[in-house]
Structure 1
């Protein structure tokens, strides 16, 4: 699903009105009808429902909803904020319909069971202050179900930033297509469960919109699965070489290798320092090994000579998991970069990459998987700048390095390539454990070895990793799940995708 900002949604609305001759009042009526149909699945006729409306078209949607609920016998009251004289034209039309029907209007908050937020829509661009802020704070103080129309009032639709005060919604019923701010932090925290409602705008208008930001959805993942043929062998599905590990982090390379195998690659080899060769042999029975020279528990620069003549035997490379930050890692990474083979760089491999980026700006077939702090260091920016504007910062990086596919890991992970951004909202904080990133790197590498498509491998890999954590909540808690649980769920998830084919 394509995600848009407020300006883009306004352009879509205007095109529907002028190009397709759909009257604006008809769109508002459609929006109100769809919101009403969703709301009645969430409330009962015993509930007292308060609809809080501002003065714009979002409020107009709220007035339509009030009318439909009232006509259907629900207990409805309207709290209208702002002067009638300042209402948008369509808003005022529907306000007048509500007054004609004698739907009860109130002057202050009541003891409602449900609050419907129709204060501000996606067009909000300034901080919420004064009476509006006071009302929002009072709504949030109620122990009541809160349903926002289109976007929770106070969220910037383009960024997810909070504009002063903000509604804490349990549900957001957004119109026609997703808004970026609903899925990015901190806006995502305040949006609750998001449902997208079709209000009759032609899909062609959304498809033609120049937004290049998309939501990762399970229904789209089946097309990214690498194909499997009866007439095939282990070499058909890729030969992966994982370079990494150290005395302090001997498990990381094993987690990555097992995850790559579980995602379908045909063969796996772990190139590890001599000091952990037996640990890896015991942890990954299916793996072959290249035993590298080491010094002080880390891969030594002698590994350059040991690896270089062997690389041509592999179809995909992974470096970084547990490798550490010894001074020799940069030389090892440089050998892998020189190979031109598909390459995934994770963890301390990204640390080593920083000084090499200018030299390998034109190097193709690279996926990097930094978390926010690693990315901030890579681009020489303060971490807060990345937290505040992850999409913009990710796009700026991939414009500078157009042959790199970026997986920017956070609560809302991003997959970015060639100005396209794929936003992942699956997953939970059970993934906030050491080793989860190694598993993700392994999954992506295993997929990349099979399909040779960096964007598909990164997008599907991020989904499988995050969705596995969600599935795990059926049997484990956020406290108890561990990274090695993650790749054990991949089988069932892939089965569910294949069943949809």
Structure 2
């Protein structure tokens, strides 16, 4: 597990490291610059001509220190600073003095020469308002250097990206690589900031968990090394009932595929048994395509006694994939929600029914707590909250927390960087696994199945949702390694689940991203 910080947390831990632990801020800055130089060496990047574009804050000081260290190694470095000299920070002033004493010249007018690399050190994580004027033009020019082939290296976060939300504050630098310090920031993973970050490298500068004097960060992510310790333990004496029985209520006319994808994901994740309630039109297809599943199929409408018998059998219920939003589906959801014994995962049309029928929304709220996980994509989330996509893009975390509070449940808000939030819990999970190849039909059904399969094995709802999202992303990475991001399908993700549940760290090396520009 690793922490993901917002701007205020990083500033507080930085300050406490200096004031309470005793490591001077200039030492932290020098460590940061050494980390950047080390990162370039690790990636075998050897630029001959570098432009450093620095602001008047500490991010600018980091940039000057990086340029100085590279110049000492023989690289040709041009230093350019922007901003009001009256607003220079003490650390930046010291870095300017070091440069002057070392004989380096500093430009106040940007030369449009050719460079192998441009170091973006305009703004750090403290930016909170839209960039304008001189800074806007500088960011545009940095991006133009990138278009002409220069590798763009941002320090801490690309200038113009909000460190807390990932929003673009007017305009932002499009980095090829971002080297951040101590811990990753939320804006590195939340869109659209993730698109601007490029390859993310995190360097230790001396701010560690010992710096968390006033409390731990509010967000975290999983890493591959955590995986084996997170998976449910399996007894060598277990049987199919020991590992969980999942009731899947899914599918409708012409929507049988959702049953298959979700059901197979349940079993691939380690659950012992799955039973599907679905219309009779899906019976033959399921018997041929998914022989491991038990079935209860109905012609016109399901019999309450048989639904109840299935609920009494189950440890977990997964409802919604391919279900449709008709009256029969609404009746099914009502029956499931009224039975509060089993933990429940609701996805897809199950969520659309909650949004359209407030009585079902009320029933979901009544059974909430640790017994309900919902997995909405952005469209489903805004429908549930009766809001719009514009508000969703402004402060996604706030909306997800609001929905978790309304339903008293765990929300896994699907997106390129999925958030997991539980009502009443201060920490949130930000997912860092996965890729754009997972934007394919049926991918959400796979996640619902993984979640149900892990939940059936006794996991806590919040940790289950976090691990499910992480595994889903890893399976997507594994699938793309074999089929490519253009050609992979949801079925490929299903088939990759067992593989990623047993992989070691070194098996993931082929999935690592490297900058496309070579210098």
Whether the TM-score (by the shorter chain) exceeds 0.5 is yes
2:320 aligned with 1:316, yes or no? Answer: no
> What residue is the counterpart of 2:361 in the other structure?
357
SS of the residue corresponding to residue 324 of structure 1 reads: coil
> What residue is the counterpart of 1:412 in the other structure?
417
> What residue is the counterpart of 2:433 in the other structure?
426
SS of the residue corresponding to residue 121 of structure 1 reads: coil
* 1:19-47 alpha-carbon deviations (Å, 9 max, x no partner): 11222222212222222221333465552
C-alpha distance 66-440 of structure 1, shift in aligned 2 (>3 A): same
Q: Which moved more, 1:93-102 or 1:423-432?
A: 423-432
Cα separation, 1, equivalents of 2:389 and 2:15: 38
SS of the residue corresponding to residue 148 of structure 1 reads: strand
Aligned-pair CA distance for 1:498: 9.9
Q: Which moved more, 1:240-249 or 1:2-11?
A: 2-11
2:399 aligned with 1:393, yes or no? Answer: yes
Cα separation, 1, equivalents of 2:46 and 2:342: 63
Q: Which moved more, 1:330-339 or 1:161-170?
A: 330-339
SS of the residue corresponding to residue 271 of structure 1 reads: strand
Aligned-pair CA distance for 1:139: 1.2
SS of the residue corresponding to residue 484 of structure 1 reads: helix
SS of the residue corresponding to residue 103 of structure 1 reads: coil
Aligned-pair CA distance for 1:169: 0.4
Q: Contact 2:372–2:410 (CA<8 Å) still a contact in 1? A: yes
2:166 aligned with 1:160, yes or no? Answer: yes
* 1:248-298 alpha-carbon deviations (Å, 9 max, x no partner): 21111111111111111101111111111111111101111112233xxxx
> What residue is the counterpart of 2:345 in the other structure?
344
Paired residues, number: 493
Q: Name structure 1 gaps, 5 residues minimum.
A: 295-299
* 1:389-408 alpha-carbon deviations (Å, 9 max, x no partner): 21111112223333x11111
> What residue is the counterpart of 2:267 in the other structure?
261
Could you tell me the TM-score, scaled by structure 2's length? 0.91
Q: Contact 2:158–2:173 (CA<8 Å) still a contact in 1? A: yes
Q: Contact 2:364–2:407 (CA<8 Å) still a contact in 1? A: no
Cα separation, 1, equivalents of 2:87 and 2:393: 37
> What residue is the counterpart of 2:186 in the other structure?
180
> What residue is the counterpart of 2:140 in the other structure?
137
Cα separation, 1, equivalents of 2:192 and 2:401: 20
Cα separation, 2, equivalents of 1:416 and 1:279: 37
Cα separation, 2, equivalents of 1:112 and 1:246: 59
Q: Contact 2:249–2:277 (CA<8 Å) still a contact in 1? A: yes
Aligned-pair CA distance for 1:173: 0.7
Q: Contact 2:334–2:363 (CA<8 Å) still a contact in 1? A: no
> What residue is the counterpart of 2:516 in the other structure?
none
C-alpha distance 359-35 of structure 1, shift in aligned 2 (>3 A): same
Within a 5 Å distance, the mapping from 1:75-154 to structure 2 comes to: 75-106=76-107, 107-109=109-111, 110-142=113-145, 143-154=149-160
Could you tell me the TM-score, scaled by structure 1's length? 0.94
Q: Name structure 2 gaps, 5 residues minimum.
A: 508-519
Q: Contact 2:21–2:211 (CA<8 Å) still a contact in 1? A: no
C-alpha distance 120-377 of structure 1, shift in aligned 2 (>3 A): same
Aligned-pair CA distance for 1:12: 1.3
Cα separation, 2, equivalents of 1:240 and 1:499: 33
Cα separation, 1, equivalents of 2:459 and 2:40: 45
* 1:126-169 alpha-carbon deviations (Å, 9 max, x no partner): 21111111111111112210111111101111111111121110
Within a 5 Å distance, the mapping from 1:288-327 to structure 2 comes to: 288-294=294-300, 300=301, 302-327=302-327
Q: Which moved more, 1:175-184 or 1:198-207?
A: 198-207
Cα separation, 2, equivalents of 1:249 and 1:2: 40
CA RMSD of aligned residues (A): 1.9
> What residue is the counterpart of 2:517 in the other structure?
none
Cα separation, 1, equivalents of 2:459 and 2:91: 52
Cα separation, 2, equivalents of 1:248 and 1:101: 73
Cα separation, 1, equivalents of 2:453 and 2:489: 20
